[in-house]
């Protein structure tokens, strides 16, 4: 399959096609139109404007003051730094180039380089780096007088954090005077830092258990390369694509810890929490007819393979799809689609684990065969314009999934999903726009306990411009999910799962004055879940807990001002606050004493962010900018059983910019 796609791409790029003989240069085209090329006015030929090169450089200072938890700004590197950067632009047709660089600190930087040569070559390189402050995870020793379970905290003093660097390179080449395009898209994501790793140590999970937390070095690279070619060959367009993706671990991919003895294996130093290395590749061929006309047809076929290098597990995929659209009238279009997916998974039947302190202690265990599946989806739909500004859409899809080895994993052998969607978009009076959508889904033999048997989802989006100085937007989303037959291997007593979701957001933009505008946003989110849960007990008898509730709520408020008193002076300020809370309330007495397990999940948080910036232009090419941020993270409950800690931070940055033209 790989050789076929490689040959086809080379064929498209290098082989003279018969249709190329019909290529016409500009002069020949003019002659066929009856125009004498020698008589055309050269002054009518478009002349690209002359744009002078432009360079901008800036240098500044950034001060960070943090107290408490760094979760206050989870995606900021909270250290003092000297930010610098700039931009360079040149336009000398056919050459066009743009370069920008922003270095906030050693962990956060951005760069972009774009170059184009006429309409034949387009290229782009984008670099982005950011830092993630992972919240520290604490383990509470509920009863220090007992040794089982114990607690082992070996994280060190520094808080966990991971830097992520991503580089993306895009290249697109177009053949002159022929609709042939060749493209390359390469993405590399590199992560390095420390994360918190939780483990259950002790005597092989059987007695003298130890709840452990430690810092773990993270160094890994994900690489994705996509090559492709597409061409217009008469009435059809053909596209070929080849994709390669892999994940490599650059440090120790597995942890080793001492375990006590158990009836199943002796004491020793055994591996755990392996990070696997992965790789995969795929090929796809797509064909479609012209998008103009009453009939449009499209088809695609693809094949791929994935492999876990650590466990030697594999999965082969075969994908196929086809669609047909018919537009008998200007206001009506109908379509039908079919998609097929075949996944063939395989893995070794046995796996081994070895004692690092004594390699003679090697144990081999049997491994269940994986789940393979075949699915087919049929979709039909229609779009009808009732009148100018009002469009109705309807869609129905039927999907059937068949699995192999499903019973070994306590899964359903077959799953059937029926989904119907109705939507309407309308404009009223040119100032009000309303979009509505309703989706109903029925699932026969759901795949997992988290998948509903029935679900209803509705969405309304209203945007209005009642006054030239007021723009309002309101969105509301509601969802209901029901399940009356949960699947637990231990017992059949657990049955029900009900989920409710409500999300409403309103935004208003007010033009108070010509030089002053106000933006305000208010949002509310509520998620509730009630589900029967099954627990395992030391006596081996499963315990059922009926209708255990889980609730999450959040309120979000944000307001911002933009003020421009003079042409060379502008200010911007924003204040936002999020209040959230959640709780989980089991009923089983075994989980409520001596300390309720629910206390570990109860949260009530308040997060506040204040942002102010101002820019002053001294001269036409000299700028001064001040940027200030204040963040506050507050654990309102002061729950000693969770890892939430209060924190606040002040960030001040001043920069001076100079532009040359």
DSSP string computed for 574-637: EEEEEEEEEEE----GGGTSSS-GGGGT-EEEEEEEEEEEEEEEEETTEEEEEEEEEEEEEESS
The pair of structure tokens assigned to 436 is 């509505």
Separation CA 153–CA 178 (nearest Å): 65
Asked whether the predicted pLDDT for residue 103 surpasses 50, the reply is: yes
Residue found by looking up tokens 């306990």 in the block: 449
Which tokens sit at 592? Answer: 């409520």
Per DSSP, which regions of 69-174 are E strands? 84-92, 95-103, 109-117, 121-133, 150-154, 161-174
3-state secondary structure 223-250: EEEEEEEEEEECCEEEEEEEEEEEEEEC
The answer for residues whose C-beta is within 8 angstroms of residue 537's C-beta and 6 or more apart is: 543, 590
Question: Among 452, 425, 426, which residue's Cα sits nearest to residue 437?
Answer: 425
Cα 228 to Cα 243: distance, rounded to the nearest angstrom? 9
Any idea what DSSP says for residue 371?
Answer: P
Q: What pairs with residue 319 in β-bridges?
A: 302, 341
Q: Is 16 helix (H, G, I), strand (E, B) or coil?
A: coil
Q: Please give the average per-residue pLDDT across 36-63, as a whole number.
A: 76
Phi, psi angles (nearest 5°) of residue 17: -85, 155
**Mean local confidence (pLDDT), 178-188:** 95
Is 625 or 160 the better-scoring residue by pLDDT? Answer: 625
pLDDT at 6: 47
Give the residue among 599, 586, 588 at the shortest CA–CA distance from 549.
586
Residue 43 has pLDDT above 70, yes or no: no
Q: What is the pLDDT of residues 452-506, one digit of tens each?
A: 999 999 999 999 999 989 999 999 999 999 998 888 877 777 889 999 999 999 9
d(CA 614, CA 572): 6
pLDDT at position 538 is 60
Eight-state DSSP code of residue 389 = T
What is the pTM assigned to this prediction?
Answer: 0.86
Residue indicated by tokens 């994900």: 222
Q: Mean pLDDT check: name the lowest of 118-122, 331-335, 420-424, 534-538.
A: 534-538
Give me the pLDDT at residue 45, please: 65
Q: How far apart are CA 406 and CA 411, in angstroms?
A: 5
pLDDT value of residue 600 = 81
For 224-255, write each residue's pLDDT tens digit.
999 999 999 888 999 999 999 999 998 878 98
Provide the pLDDT for residue 17: 40
Lowest mean pLDDT among 32-36, 74-78, 124-128, 347-351: 32-36
Per-residue buried b or exposed e for 464-490, using 16+ beta carbons within 10 Å of the residue's own CB: beeeeeebbebbebebebebeebebee
Q: Give CA–CA dist 81/32, Å, rounded.
A: 65
For residue 640, the model assigns a pLDDT of 79
Residue 157's Cβ-side half-sphere holds a number of Cα atoms within 13 Å equal to: 0
Task: Identify the pLDDT of residue 7.
Answer: 41
What pLDDT, on a 0 to 100 scale, did the predictor assign at position 397? Answer: 98
DSSP state of 492: S
The per-residue pLDDT of the chain, averaged, comes to 88
**pLDDT beyond 50 at 19:** no
pLDDT band at 434 (very low <50, low <70, confident <90, very high): very high
- Measured CA to CA, the distance from residue 549 to residue 546 in angstroms comes to 9
Whether the ω angle into residue 94 lies within 30 degrees of 0, i.e. cis, is yes
Specify the pLDDT at position 206.
59
Q: Which helix (H) or strand (E) holds 6?
A: helix 2-14
Beta strands in 357-469 (DSSP E): 362-366, 372-387, 390-404, 414-428, 432-444, 454-467
pLDDT band at 40 (very low <50, low <70, confident <90, very high): very low
Other CB atoms within a 10 A radius of the CB of residue 153 amount to 13
pLDDT band at 205 (very low <50, low <70, confident <90, very high): low
CB 442, CB 434: distance < 8 Å: no
Q: How far, CA to CA in Å, does 297 sit from each of 324, 334, 384?
A: 5, 12, 20
Residues 632, 138, 629, CA angle at the centre, nearest 5°?
15
Higher pLDDT, 485 or 16: 485
The confidence score (pLDDT) of residue 207 equals 63
């Amino acid at each position: 399959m790989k050789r076929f796609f490689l040959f086809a791409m080379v064929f498209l790029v290098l082989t003279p096609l018969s249709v190329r003989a019909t290529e016409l240069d500009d002069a020949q085209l003019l002659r066929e139109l009856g125009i004498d090329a020698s008589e055309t006015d050269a002054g009518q030929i478009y002349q690209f404007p002359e744009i002078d090169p432009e360079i901008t450089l800036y240098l500044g200072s950034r001060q960070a003051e943090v107290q408490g938890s760094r979760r206050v700004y989870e995606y900021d590197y909270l250290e003092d730094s000297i930010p610098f950067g700039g931009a360079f632009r040149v336009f000398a047709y056919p050459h066009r180039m743009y370069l920008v660089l922003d270095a906030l600190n050693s962990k956060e930087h951005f760069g972009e380089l774009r170059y184009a040569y006429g309409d034949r070559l387009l290229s782009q390189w984008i670099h982005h780096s950011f830092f993630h402050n992972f919240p520290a995870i604490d383990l509470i020793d509920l009863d220090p007088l007992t040794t089982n379970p114990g607690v082992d905290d070996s994280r060190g003093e520094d808080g966990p954090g991971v830097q992520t660097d991503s580089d993306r390179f895009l290249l697109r080449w177009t053949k002159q005077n022929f609709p042939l395009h060749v493209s390359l898209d390469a993405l590399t994501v590199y992560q390095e830092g420390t994360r918190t790793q939780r483990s259950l140590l002790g005597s092989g999970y059987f007695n003298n258990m130890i709840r452990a937390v430690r810092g773990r070095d993270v160094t890994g690279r994900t690489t994705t390369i996509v090559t492709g070619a597409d061409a217009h060959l008469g009435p059809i367009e053909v596209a070929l694509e080849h994709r390669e993706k892999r994940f490599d671990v650059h440090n120790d991919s597995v942890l080793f810890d001492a375990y006590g003895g158990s009836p199943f294996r002796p004491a020793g130093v055994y591996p755990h929490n392996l990070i696997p290395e992965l790789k995969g590749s795929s090929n796809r061929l797509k064909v479609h007819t012209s998008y103009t006309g009453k009939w449009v047809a499209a088809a695609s076929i693809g094949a791929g393979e994935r492999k876990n290098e650590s466990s030697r597990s594999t999965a082969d995929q075969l994908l196929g799809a086809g669609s047909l659209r018919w537009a008998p009238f200007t206001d009506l279009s109908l379509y039908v689609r079919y998609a097929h997916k075949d996944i063939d998974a395989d893995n070794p039947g046995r796996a081994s684990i070895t004692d690092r302190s004594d390699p003679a202690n090697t144990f081999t265990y049997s491994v269940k065969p994986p789940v393979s599946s075949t699915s087919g989806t049929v979709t039909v739909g229609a779009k009808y314009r009732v009148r100018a500004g009002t469009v109705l859409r309807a869609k129905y899809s039927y999907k059937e999934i068949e699995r192999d080895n499903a019973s070994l994993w306590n899964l359903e052998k077959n799953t059937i999903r029926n989904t119907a969607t109705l939507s309407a978009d309308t404009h009223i009076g040119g100032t009000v726009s309303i979009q509505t959508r309703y989706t109903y889904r029925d699932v026969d033999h759901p795949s997992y306990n988290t998948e509903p048997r029935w679900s209803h989802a509705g969405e309304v989006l209203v945007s209005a411009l009642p006054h030239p100085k007021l723009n309002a937007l309101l969105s509301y989303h509601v969802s209901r999910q029901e399940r009356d037959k949960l699947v637990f291997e231990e017992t059949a007593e657990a049955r029900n799962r009900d989920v409710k979701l409500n999300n409403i957001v309103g935004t208003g933009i007010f033009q108070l004055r010509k030089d002053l505008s106000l933006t305000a946003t208010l949002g509310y989110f509520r998620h509730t879940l009630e589900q029967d849960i099954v627990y395992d007990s030391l006596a081996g008898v499963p315990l059922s807990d009926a209708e255990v509730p889980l609730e999450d709520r959040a309120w979000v408020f944000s307001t911002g001002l933009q003020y421009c008193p003079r042409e060379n002076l502008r200010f911007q300020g924003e204040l936002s606050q999020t209040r959230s809370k959640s709780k989980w309330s089991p009923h089983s007495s075994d989980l409520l004493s001596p300390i309720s397990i629910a206390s570990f999940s109860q949260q009530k948080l308040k997060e506040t962010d204040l942002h102010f910036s101002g820019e002053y232009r001294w001269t036409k090419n000299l700028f001064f900018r001040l940027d200030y941020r204040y963040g506050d993270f507050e654990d309102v409950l002061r729950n000693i059983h969770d890892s939430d800690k209060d924190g606040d931070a002040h960030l001040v940055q001043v920069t001076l910019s100079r532009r040359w033209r």
